[in-house]
């Protein structure tokens, strides 16, 4: 006995290994809801076009609803011999309603079916990711508003650079997540054309109405070229590219959480909710969630690299290679969703250590640029001011005092134009408070930006 779906010209069963390598049901059963929705839209269109009788269309719709319920209640039996979700649904429909089921596949093929189903799945995943990123932004912006004026060390090269505020630092991640959402939105816009009815690759001679199915499934329009429609996986690549960049952003914050919560640094603390203990060292509190978010970025990047490699050099149109597009994609987009949720939880949970933050912000002569800027305002060229401030730092360092405690007379011995006023500017509070340029770290800026984000995010939720 040969395959029921395509076995007309076959005399015998496939080899067990053939069946194993060919079957995708273990993965694409995740698309059952999309497959059934697309079949219902297709059947309704076939009936409207007179390709299918109203009676058969009704039976098909009912049968498809039954199958959906069977799958959702765990009663549906999946078997490798039926290859993929498309054949499973059609074979079960045959059992349920008889020969009318065989009329459903008119004017379509599994090639346009799988492209349609997967587009629907990716589109829904993008919707979930966008909502999750919105929650993440809200958590960051709320925390930023709470700590708009709290100084923290701003680092470049992991060296103390200039004081910034903790709120400003958190808002940097809000901006990144905003661009991530923009990339997902772009991907969704380009994705939203319906492949259904492109059939195997050439279209069909049957009088189908592709606008109708596109509309029914929430697409903006049908795809314009049947070859492209079945050969295209750009929508997956774009979603994965956006996901990979978002995951890279999350991994950077994750890494900072790992560093900042280390007892060696101690700038930040997480509670019991997002840490774990050690099985042997009772004192430990490990930032496992942050570490796992950091690691998941590797798998998400891997999924993008894998699909690029699968698609590279594939001739048009559909090739079975493309069946390998789903496993890593589904896993990666689900992993990203979980990572965002974990990161949102950690952001809500994290508490900065105010005293250590301030101490670290002031350490390392972090306000030396403020001294140089003061000299610039007094008319020195910046290069010269930089040199003078550098000599003063060196002198203060050998005297073992921070800049704002260094004696005025000792500064004046290096640069006579320095006045009392300059000294008062060298505390971390004065330093961050002075950075009022657009996009700068001044607490007033941070409050304004945090409120702007919160308002915007509130509005999109309404
Ligand atoms: N399981 C297949 C996939 O995921 C569906 C399309 C199969 N098409 C075909 N002509 N064999 O890509």
Report how far ligand 1's centroid is from the alpha carbon of 320 (Å): 6
pLDDT at residue 259 greater than cutoff 90? yes
Our answer on whether the CB atom of 84 is closer than 6 Å to any ligand 1 atom is yes
pLDDT at residue 152 greater than cutoff 90? yes
Query: Band of the pLDDT at 162, cuts 50, 70, 90?
Result: very high
Task: Summarize the confidence of residues 363-391 as an average pLDDT.
Answer: 94
CA–CA distance, 127 with 136 (Å, rounded to integer): 14
Instruction: Taking the CA atoms of 36, 201, 324 and 252 in sequence, report the sign of the dihedral they define.
Output: negative
Our answer on whether the CB atom of 116 is closer than 6 Å to any ligand 1 atom is no
Task: Tally DSSP H helices, then E strands, for the chain.
Answer: 19, 6
> What pLDDT digit, counting tens, does each position of 414-439 carry?
999 999 999 889 999 999 999 999 99
Coil/strand/helix, residue 278: coil
User: Which one of 18, 82, 320, 325 would you pick to mutate in the ligand 1 pocket, going by the greatest count of ligand atoms within 8 A of its CB?
Assistant: 320
pLDDT at residue 1 greater than cutoff 50? no
Dihedral of the alpha carbons of 242, 243, 249, 252, in degrees to the nearest 10? -140
Query: Band of the pLDDT at 4, cuts 50, 70, 90?
Result: low
Our answer on whether the CB atom of 28 is closer than 6 Å to any ligand 1 atom is yes
Our answer on whether the CB atom of 143 is closer than 6 Å to any ligand 1 atom is no
Question: What is the structure's pLDDT at 87?
Answer: 97
Encoding tokens for residue 136?
A: 């993440």
User: Residue 240: which of 341, 136, 317, 335 has the closest Cα?
Assistant: 335
Burial code (b: 16+ CB inside 10 Å, e: under 16) for 421-460 equals ebbebbbbeebbbbbeeeeebbbebbbebbeebbeebeee
Mean pLDDT (the chain) is 96
Task: Summarize the confidence of residues 143-169 as an average pLDDT.
Answer: 96
Residues designated as active site: 157, 278
Encoding tokens for residue 324?
A: 């390998």
Cis peptide before 317 (omega within 30 of 0): yes
Report how far ligand 1's centroid is from the alpha carbon of 130 (Å): 29
Encoding tokens for residue 320?
A: 């079975």
Q: What is the pTM of this model?
A: 0.95
Question: What is the structure's pLDDT at 7?
Answer: 76
Q: By mean pLDDT, which of 31-45, 178-192, 345-359, 414-428 is the weakest?
A: 414-428
What is 111-359's CATH topology? Answer: Fumarase C; Chain A, domain 2 (1.20.200)
Q: By mean pLDDT, which of 10-19, 112-121, 198-207, 302-311 is the weakest?
A: 10-19
Unique residue bearing structure tokens 């960051």? 140
| CB neighbours of residue 234 within 10 Å | 14
In the chain, what are the domain boundaries?
Answer: 7-106, 111-359, 368-426
User: Residue 135: which of 297, 289, 448, 347 has the closest Cα?
Assistant: 347
CA–CA distance, 381 with 18 (Å, rounded to integer): 76
Chain centroid offset of residue 376 CA: 43
Question: What is the structure's pLDDT at 11?
Answer: 84
Dihedral pair phi/psi, residue 411, rounded to 5° = -70, -45
CA–CA distance, 81 with 19 (Å, rounded to integer): 6
Closest residue by Cα to atom 2, ligand 1, is: 323
Task: Summarize the confidence of residues 101-124 as an average pLDDT.
Answer: 98
User: Residue 1: which of 65, 70, 81, 59 has the closest Cα?
Assistant: 81
Encoding tokens for residue 437?
A: 């340029």
Dihedral pair phi/psi, residue 414, rounded to 5° = -90, -45
Question: What is the structure's pLDDT at 404?
Answer: 86
| CB neighbours of residue 158 within 10 Å | 7
CA–CA distance, 90 with 70 (Å, rounded to integer): 14
> What architecture (CATH level 2) is domain 368-426?
Orthogonal Bundle (1.10)
The number of residues making up the chain comes to: 462
Task: Summarize the confidence of residues 253-264 as an average pLDDT.
Answer: 97
Query: Band of the pLDDT at 292, cuts 50, 70, 90?
Result: very high
pLDDT at residue 38 greater than cutoff 80? yes
> What architecture (CATH level 2) is domain 7-106?
Orthogonal Bundle (1.10)
pLDDT at residue 6 greater than cutoff 80? no
> What pLDDT digit, counting tens, does each position of 181-239 carry?
999 999 999 999 999 999 999 999 999 999 999 999 999 999 999 999 999 999 999 99
Question: What is the structure's pLDDT at 2?
Answer: 57
Our answer on whether the CB atom of 110 is closer than 6 Å to any ligand 1 atom is yes
Q: Judging by DSSP bridges, how do beta strands 159-165 and 193-194 pair with one another?
A: unpaired
Are 7-106 and 111-359 equal in CATH topology? no
Dihedral of the alpha carbons of 231, 236, 241, 242, in degrees to the nearest 10? 140
Encoding tokens for residue 46?
A: 């076939």
Question: What is the structure's pLDDT at 85?
Answer: 98
List, in sequence order, the alpha helices (H) in 217-353: 226-231, 234-261, 288-311, 326-349
């Amino acid at each position: 006995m040969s395959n029921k779906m395509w076995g007309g010209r076959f005399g015998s069963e496939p080899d067990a290994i053939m069946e194993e390598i060919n079957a995708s049901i273990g993965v694409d059963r995740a698309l059952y809801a999309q497959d059934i929705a697309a079949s219902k839209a297709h059947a309704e269109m076939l009936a409207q076009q007179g390709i299918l009788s109203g009676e058969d269309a009704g039976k098909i719709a009912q049968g498809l609803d039954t199958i959906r319920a069977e799958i959702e209640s765990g009663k549906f039996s999946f078997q490798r011999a039926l290859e993929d979700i498309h054949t499973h649904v059609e074979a079960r429909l045959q059992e349920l309603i008889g020969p009318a089921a065989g009329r459903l596949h008119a004017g379509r093929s599994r090639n346009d079916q799988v492209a349609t189903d997967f587009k629907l799945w990716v589109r829904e995943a993008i919707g979930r990711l966008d909502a999750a990123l919105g929650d993440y932004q809200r958590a960051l912006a709320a925390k930023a508003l709470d700590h708009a004026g709290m100084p923290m060390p701003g680092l470049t090269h992991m060296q103390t650079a200039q004081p910034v505020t903790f709120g400003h630092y958190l808002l940097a991640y809000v901006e990144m997540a905003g661009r991530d959402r923009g990339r997902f939105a772009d991907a969704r816009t380009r994705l939203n054309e319906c492949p259904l009815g492109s059939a195997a690759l050439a279209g069909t001679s049957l009088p189908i109405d592709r606008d109708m199915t596109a509309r029914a499934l929430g697409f903006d329009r049908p795809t314009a070229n049947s070859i492209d429609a079945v050969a295209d996986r750009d929508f997956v690549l774009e979603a994965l590219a956006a996901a990979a960049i978002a995951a890279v952003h999350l991994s950077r914050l994750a890494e900072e959480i790992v560093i900042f919560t280390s007892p060696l640094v101690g700038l930040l603390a997480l509670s019991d909710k997002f840490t774990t203990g050690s099985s042997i060292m009772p004192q430990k509190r490990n930032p496992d969630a942050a570490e796992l978010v950091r690691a998941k970025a590797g798998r998400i990047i891997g999924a993008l690299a894998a699909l690029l490699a699968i698609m590279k050099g594939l001739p048009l149109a559909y090739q079975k290679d493309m069946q390998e597009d789903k496993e890593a994609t589904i896993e990666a987009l689900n992993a990203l969703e979980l990572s965002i949720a974990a990161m949102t939880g950690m952001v809500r949970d994290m508490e900065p250590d105010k005293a250590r933050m301030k101490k670290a912000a002031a350490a390392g002569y972090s306000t030396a640029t403020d001294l140089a800027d003061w000299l610039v305002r007094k008319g020195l060229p910046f290069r010269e001011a930089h040199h003078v401030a550098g000599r003063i730092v060196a002198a203060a360092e050998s005297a073992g005092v921070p800049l704002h405690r260094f004696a005025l007379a000792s500064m004046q011995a290096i640069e006579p134009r320095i006045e009392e006023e300059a000294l008062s500017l060298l505390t971390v509070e004065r330093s961050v408070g002075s950075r009022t340029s657009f996009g700068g770290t001044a607490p007033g800026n941070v409050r304004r930006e945090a409120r702007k984000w919160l308002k915007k995010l509130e509005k999109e939720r309404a």
